[in-house]
Structure 1
Amino acid sequence: HAKAAIKDVVTTLEPGTLEGAFATELVEEFAAIERLAAAGKALCAQRVAKSGAWRRHGDRSPARWMARTTGTSVGHALGVLETAESIGELPATETALRSGELSQVQAQEIVSAAAVSPASEPGLLAAAKTETVSELKEHCAKIKAAASSDELDRYEAIRVRRRLRHFRDPDGAWHLDALLTPDAGAVVMAALEPYTERVFQAARAQGRRESHQAYAADALVELAEHTRACDDQPTSCTPKAMVQVVVDHRALLRGSLEDGESCEVPGIGPIPVATARAWATDAYLSALLTDGSDIKAVCHLGRTIPSRLRTAIEMRDRTCVVPGCDVGRHLEIDHIKPVTVGGPTRLDNLARLCRWHHYLKTHRGYRLSGGPGSWCFEHPGEAHPGRPPDTETGPGSARSP
């Protein structure tokens, strides 16, 4: 009966005849109904998943069954099912979801954070009443980061799930979907931002007004076209990318976080301190150094390698310098002694590493020493890990960051 009643209301609805205040009330009522419907849908879908009833329809997984049945994406359906599975361990959150106080998105964020920090549940439920979804997501991300005993293990868990995929929908539109580590996402967004601004200014000059998302899509295409035209040769017309990091000064010097300290990219989320230190050697990094809650300094930690020095390194290190590694593509220039601890930008302190070995040095504690003909790459008390199983360098290969 409820479904029929709602259908009758929507079928006969004439938005143009409504007073603004009454239309506002209706939106709030429909939103409340939507939250309750989402809760019921999630709880029932969990039962379908557990019972195996989804197999009767020939679907490959519960998430695919739910996506097809509800007209959503597999990723969204998977999030709903995972939330419904875990919410039973959080009675207060389950009650809020069942009563329509939380949307499915809010519940999913709270469950993900409270699962690793149960004590945060009451505060998150209170925050959900006043914070926007984006603010709540950032709030939950910080809680999850603080609850992790090892920031590098957390980073690694994200890194191994990295992906980039694309597909065309039935209308022929091309979709791009990516899952990256926070630092990789920050680099992508920093590279895209100046192009987005350029597209925005051009649109304004032409009298066009579209959404920021539309300008960002145009900027991505422009970035790709510019990169292809340059053929990997930097040009003076390339917009400068800037990555901003807020990090405690002592943590940056120490190389790790302690209680009460943070290291994050605004709008992206927490990143390992090791990543911020590595960025100082190969990216133009704007760092806001803090001492607790007070701003200590603002500095640019990036070090631009002069073209002549870069050429000398490329000629000297034709492949990754790690003994036994012959990767010669997508090499990255590394400061053997990091800039953040006084390492100079000169030939005897620079070496080219493949992405895998650069990752190990930056995030897993490996050390590079020696020089041409006598390079040594090791981790204290640990054997050299060798190459990962995904060593292909061709298009679409799953490489390290």
Structure 2
Amino acid sequence: MFEVINQAKAAIKDVVATLDPDTLDGAFASELVEEFAAIERLAAAGKTLCVQRVAKSGAWRRDGDRSPARWMARTTGTSVGHALGVLETAEGVGELPATETALRSGELSQVQAQEIVSAAAASPASEPELLAAAKTESVWELKGRCAKIKAAASPDELDRYEAIRVRRRLRHFRDPDGAFHLDAVLTPDAGAVVVAALEPYTERVFHAARSQGRREPHAAYAADALVEMAEHTRACDDQPSRRTPGAMVHVVVDHGALTRGSVVDGESCEVPGIGPIPVATARAWATDAYLSALLTDGTDIKAVCHLGRTIPARLRTAIELRDRTCVAPGCDDARHLEIDHITAVTDGGPTRLDNLARLCRWHHYLKTHRGHRLSGGPGSWRFANYEQAHPGRSPDTAKETGSARPP
């Protein structure tokens, strides 16, 4: 076995040693990335399958490590947290034959396998759904799906919520360079309130930076916004209010779950971008003015309609909660999304839910200026470059084909 592995390793090493990316055609370089990713997935599968034996045999003790996770973190050059995830995946994947087969064949990355094993352990019947989702969804989307499944499968969501509440904390420290760090653990609903309060400040910092010609990561703007929010609170003469004006927390909950008081398989009660919350928490929030609750049937949001170009607040909220990321397949951009009329108003397209979708700035640009067209709907969106696929043909008559890949 080692002879084969060493030969493969030597061959890959030779390829990488002679690789000159500046001489590669862009399309060829893209194919190479895909091949290296496939090799990476197979290597991750091998590590995952072998590490369980290392843990059980006690071989990790030979170099004085305190735990299998610390041994793996040191051996692989990763964090202890990442190593723990691999160990948990290795322990659970044996109970999920289909997932193990997909892992061994290189169809799943380690992160995908970890999420599926964690969710399928709580709800074994969800394994086929999750394996299918892993083929088309981003890791971010897959994690969200797994979180919903685990929340619905929990025997007592309030017990799980209480366990998080007991662990809540906020601490700060300075690193050796003198930088100030904040570390917090909050319940999902408390986290949602913090994020909602911070968002208006983050937007203001973002626009101020752009007006000055500065471009920095969103995390940097959020850090500035936190300081600005604290300074604003100190400057207030009156008692600080519980929430910043303009802050809004949105909750998406199935009507049946809200009526029943708990979620079952296929239902959800969550704060978009944060995660599942207990139905009881959503009910308790119902009388608070900062909450926007949207009832759904589990598949789509219905019956919100308005004629004209201007998008009213109620319709905008529905779109934002339905389309939490850019709807172009494969894109999980969730920041600075723009609401697009699928059929333009100038072409007779109405301003109603089934003719609106959120796109990131890049995909909105492609649709507006580069001949791309959006079609389908929630769960079946399609985004294609009709001008490139059908040169000389009108985009209005071209067949709907293609993907979200930019030209």
**Aligning the two structures, in what range does the TM-score lie when normalised by the shorter sequence?**
0.5 to 0.7
In 1, Cα distance between the equivalents of 2:77 and 2:170?
Answer: 23
Shift of 1:296: 7.6
CA pair 98-237 structure 1, distance change in 2 beyond 3 A: closer
Matches within 5 A, 1:2-401: 2-164=8-170, 176-228=182-234, 230=236, 233-234=239-240, 240-249=246-255, 251-252=257-258, 255-257=261-263, 261-280=267-286, 284-290=290-296, 295=302
In 2, Cα distance between the equivalents of 1:260 and 1:192?
Answer: 31
Secondary structure, aligned partner of 2:135? coil
Deviates more, 1:179-188 or 1:114-123: 179-188
Shift of 1:295: 4.6
Contact 1:142 1:270 in 2 (8 A): yes
Residue-by-residue CA offset, 1:163-215 (whole Å, 9 max, x unaligned): 55666667766555544322122122112211211111011111112232332
Contact 1:289 1:295 in 2 (8 A): no
Identity %: 86
Shift of 1:77: 1.4
Secondary structure, aligned partner of 2:78? coil
Contact 1:289 1:296 in 2 (8 A): no
In 2, Cα distance between the equivalents of 1:29 and 1:253?
Answer: 50
In 1, Cα distance between the equivalents of 2:268 and 2:294?
Answer: 11
In 2, Cα distance between the equivalents of 1:172 and 1:17?
Answer: 43
Shift of 1:237: 12
Deviates more, 1:277-286 or 1:133-142: 277-286
CA pair 248-35 structure 1, distance change in 2 beyond 3 A: closer
Shift of 1:290: 4.0
Q: Amino acid of the residue matched to residue 119 of structure 2?
A: A
Over the aligned positions, Cα root-mean-square deviation in angstroms equals 3.1
Residue-by-residue CA offset, 1:310-353 (whole Å, 9 max, x unaligned): xxxxxxxxxxxxxxxxxxxxxxxxxxxxxxxxxxxxxxxxxxxx
CA pair 262-127 structure 1, distance change in 2 beyond 3 A: closer
Secondary structure, aligned partner of 1:115? helix
Can you give the 5+ residue segments of structure 2 that lack an aligned partner in the other structure?
A: 1-6, 305-313, 316-407
In 2, Cα distance between the equivalents of 1:14 and 1:168?
Answer: 42
Shift of 1:279: 2.6
Residue-by-residue CA offset, 1:223-264 (whole Å, 9 max, x unaligned): 344445559833799553211112245654664446765322
Match of 1:354 in 2: none
Q: Amino acid of the residue matched to residue 10 of structure 1?
A: V
Shift of 1:72: 2.0
Contact 1:35 1:103 in 2 (8 A): yes
In 2, Cα distance between the equivalents of 1:149 and 1:107?
Answer: 24
Shift of 1:135: 1.0
Deviates more, 1:90-99 or 1:271-280: 271-280
Alignment: residue pair count: 299
Contact 1:249 1:296 in 2 (8 A): no
In 2, Cα distance between the equivalents of 1:117 and 1:200?
Answer: 41
Contact 2:148 2:268 in 1 (8 A): no
In 2, Cα distance between the equivalents of 1:142 and 1:235?
Answer: 32
Contact 2:153 2:264 in 1 (8 A): no
Shift of 1:123: 1.5
Contact 1:290 1:296 in 2 (8 A): no
Secondary structure, aligned partner of 1:264? strand
Q: Amino acid of the residue matched to residue 154 of structure 1?
A: R
Shift of 1:33: 1.1
Can you give the 5+ residue segments of structure 1 that lack an aligned partner in the other structure?
A: 300-401
In 2, Cα distance between the equivalents of 1:283 and 1:51?
Answer: 57
CA pair 148-231 structure 1, distance change in 2 beyond 3 A: farther
TM-score normalised over the length of structure 1: 0.66
TM-score normalised over the length of structure 2: 0.65
Shift of 1:101: 0.6
In 1, Cα distance between the equivalents of 2:206 and 2:152?
Answer: 37
